[in-house]
Amino acid sequence: MINRSYILKERIYLLVIVCFTFLLFGCGAASEIETAQPASAEAIANGNIENGRKLFMGYVHLEHEGPPCMGCHSVGENGLLGGGALGPNLTNISTERSDDEIIGVLSNTGTVISPVMQPIYKTDPLTEQEQADLLAFIKASVGEPETDRELLVFGISILGTIGAAIMFGFIYRNRLRSVRRAMVNKAEKELL
């Protein structure tokens, strides 16, 4: 007997693939990439430190869904595990860089551009208000202690791995190990 459902199934697969392709193109057309504008002086004046902190820590989403700054940077005290360690610690950055340079990095429009941040925020640019809030937050943090917790994070992951190994070792403690080797060892022991 031939399985006709096989042919039907393949036709359904084909249909699903075609529909999905259209859907993908549809999504692509809907989201147009906006170009970032550097924050105006007026916006900078309205920068809110508390909002900047929330944006930095990721408590509040960036409007275009870009990743929060704390993924790579630390500013002052960032909770138990500290901030990210990929980018530089930004606690005292506003004493080394001017406001324009910082806004230039945040909006990808200045003379100094971060080669790592540029591609990430190219498609998810920060709004003017967000740039201003972050700038205010960074400026307010000057003088706070710079905390780096890499060693703590490393230690926790090592301990976690050991803990998981012990846990799974216990769960699968009755697992079948070599039957033959045990048999041969026992016979050897009895002969000696």
Partner 1 sequence: MKVRSQVSMVFHLDKCIGCHTCSIACKNIWTDREGAEYMWWNNVETKPGVGFPTQWEDQEKYHGGWELNDKPKNPELKLKLQNRLQTFTNLFSNPAMPTMDDYYEPWTYKYGDLFNSPLGDDQPTARPISRIDGKPIDIESGPNWDDDLGGSNIYAVNDPLLATMSAEEKQRLFSIEQLFYFYMPRICNHCLNAACGAACPSGAIYKRAEDGVVLINQDKCRGWRMCVSACPYKKTYYNWSTGKSEKCILCYPRLESGQAPACFHSCVGRIRYLGVLLYDADQIEDALKVPDEQLVQRQRDMILDPHDPKVVAAAKESGVPDGVITAAQNSPVYQYVKEWEMALPLHPEYRTLPMLFYVPPLLPVLNATQPNGTQRVETDLFSSLENARVPVRYMSRTLAAGNDELVIKSYQKMIAVRIYKRAETVGDVTKEEADAALAKAGMTAEEAEAIYHLTSLPNYQERFVIPPYSREGDIEELYDPQQRKAEMGFGKRQGPQRGL
> What residues between 14 and 43 interact with partner 1 by CB under 8 A?
14
DSSP 173: T
Nearer of residues 14 and 16 to partner 1, judged by Cβ: 14
120's CB contacts (< 8 A; 6+ apart) are 66, 67
Cβ nearer to partner 1, comparing 116 with 165: 165
**CA-CA distance, 28 to 12, in Å (whole number)?**
25
Specify whether the CB–CB gap between 148 and 74 falls below 8 A.
yes
CA distance 45 to 131: 11
Instruction: Give the one residue of 20, 29, 181, 192 binding partner 1; rule: CB under 8 A.
Output: 181
Q: Between helices 49-57 and 128-140, what is the axis angle to 10°? A: 100
**Residues whose CB is less than 8 angstroms from the CB of residue 154 and which lie 6 or more positions away in sequence, other chains included:** none
Taking CB under 8 A as the rule, does residue 189 contact partner 1? no
- Of 179, 50, 33, 63, the C-alpha closest to 128 is 63
Q: Which stretch binds partner 1 (CB under 8 A): 2-10, 82-90, 104-112, 139-147?
A: 2-10
Q: Which is nearer to partner 1, 111 or 174 (CB)?
A: 174
Least distance to partner 1, CB of residue 166, Å = 15
12 binds partner 1 (CB under 8 A): no
Q: How far is the CB of 3 from partner 1 (least distance, A)?
A: 11
What is the closest distance, in whole angstroms, from the C-beta atom of residue 11 to partner 1 in the complex? Answer: 9
Query: Binding residues for partner 1, per CB under 8 A?
Result: 1-2, 7, 10, 14, 168, 172, 174-181, 183-184, 187
